[in-house]
Amino acid sequence: MSHSSYELKAEARERVGKGSSRELRRNGLIPAVIYGDKQAPIAISLNTNEVTKRIHAGGFMTTVATIDVNGEKISVLPKDYQLDPVRDFTMHVDFLRVSADSKVTVEVPVHFINEDKSAIKIGGVLNVVRHEVELHCPANDIPEFITVDLTGAKIGDSLHISHVKLPAGVTPVITDRDFTIATIVAPAGGLAEEGEAEA
């Protein structure tokens, strides 16, 4: 299960556009929008410090939150946020409305375990192809990460999505192939052996 849910207080925005967004930011607020679930989008403003704290705490994009908009509580999943390229503060956030039976698409980080029980212990190198995997998940049950067990993996082995035990109701977005998450390769110094084989 993902990070624990949290609640943010928001106010509906009457005015939208660059001018009003700049004014909000000057007042310590972030413009945001809630959309989806076949309902009209709602423009809102949120406390900058609260949102920034949530982003930096980790798991922001995979945690369902409740936004209290003038007393109406809406379940949402952050879908995108923009940071100022120079000053690194949050400029805008997009939230997707979710309900108990919503399915969402999220990028979930990959964790690797048991490196000491694989060829990495004798000098093999773990070459990570995908640090995150895009998954379809129930909105209220998004995994915080998926785990790849490296036990018994040898040099030259590829670890595919089929090696991963996904939680119930969670499926990869890519379904037309058993895609590679990581490979175990010989260390760079292992090239001398190839040269000898050619001679």
Taking the model in full, what pTM does it have?
0.73
What are 123-151's pLDDT values in tens digits?
999 999 999 999 999 988 888 899 999 99
d(CA 56, CA 52): 6
What are 156-187's pLDDT values in tens digits?
999 999 999 999 899 999 999 999 999 999 98
For residue 118, give the nearest of 185, 35, 23, 192 by alpha carbon. 185
pLDDT at 15: 67
pLDDT at 196: 39
